[in-house]
Amino acid sequence: MAQRPNLASLGDLDLASLTAAGDQAAFGALMRRHGPLVRGLVRRMGAQGCTADDIAQDAFIAAYTGIGNYRGEGSFGGWVCRIAGRMYVRKARHELRCQLTDQPIETGEAAGPEPGLLMDLDAALKTLSAAERVCVSLCSGAGYSHPEAAELLHIPLGTVKSHVKRGLDKLRQRLETGRQESANA
């Protein structure tokens, strides 16, 4: 009788092959390995708690049904992140639509965490508008190109670029501030 391999020690492509052959335990190992990345991305895009987990699980189920399309060219987690990003946008499109197309409102200093707190990506993302957060998350987190993000969000390419630019500028400012504060502490 063939001995079952230790799933945790297998690579993504091997686990995907086992999954394609109907091994759900192998898919569980993929979920265990890449779940935090996908859950983190959906939360960083703006989804909350259970909704974020539902979207992440839906993305994994979609990956399961299309597992034959995974060729191992990138990480499995990155592939599922792209699916999850698309799913979040579809789910939240109605809420996002007006925020994505509206001109940004200059409110001066964006609301951020209290001074003195150690800044990290999650805290810095909270200082971005919903549109900026979604665009930055799609392009930097889920690996979408600007044109792909524009197509997904149904907004002009220039709008995506400006949201990403503004978002990254805010992130840079916040992250640098946080680093300075932690260096001084």
Partner 1 sequence: MRDDLFEQEVAGLFAAAPAFDDGEAFVRRGLERLAAYERLRQRVLISVSAAAVLAAVLMLARSPLWASLAAKSAGIGTLIANTPLTTWCVLAAAVAGVALLLNRQALTR
- Report the interface residues with partner 1, using CB under 8 A: 24, 27-28, 31-32, 35-37, 39-41, 43-44, 53, 56-57, 60-61, 64-65, 77, 120-122, 136-137, 139-141, 143, 165, 168, 171-172
Least distance CB 35 / partner 1 (angstroms): 5
Q: Residue 165, Cα to own-chain centre: how many angstroms?
A: 17
**Measured from the CB atom, is 120 or 151 closer to partner 1?**
120
**Measured from the CB atom, is 50 or 105 closer to partner 1?**
50
Side-chain-facing half-sphere of 102: CA atoms under 13 Å: 12
Length of the chain: 185
CA distance 102 to 108: 17
Least distance CB 135 / partner 1 (angstroms): 12
**Measured from the CB atom, is 35 or 112 closer to partner 1?**
35
**Measured from the CB atom, is 34 or 92 closer to partner 1?**
34
Asked if residue 157 lies in contact with residue 146, where contact means CB atoms within 8 angstroms, the answer is: yes
- Our separate counts of H helices and E strands in the chain read 8, 0
103-108 contacts, C-beta under 8 A, 24 or more apart: 104/129, 104/131, 104/166
Least distance CB 98 / partner 1 (angstroms): 26
Least distance CB 40 / partner 1 (angstroms): 4
Least distance CB 108 / partner 1 (angstroms): 23
Selection from 153, 94, 96, 157 nearest residue 130 by Cα: 96
**Measured from the CB atom, is 30 or 152 closer to partner 1?**
30
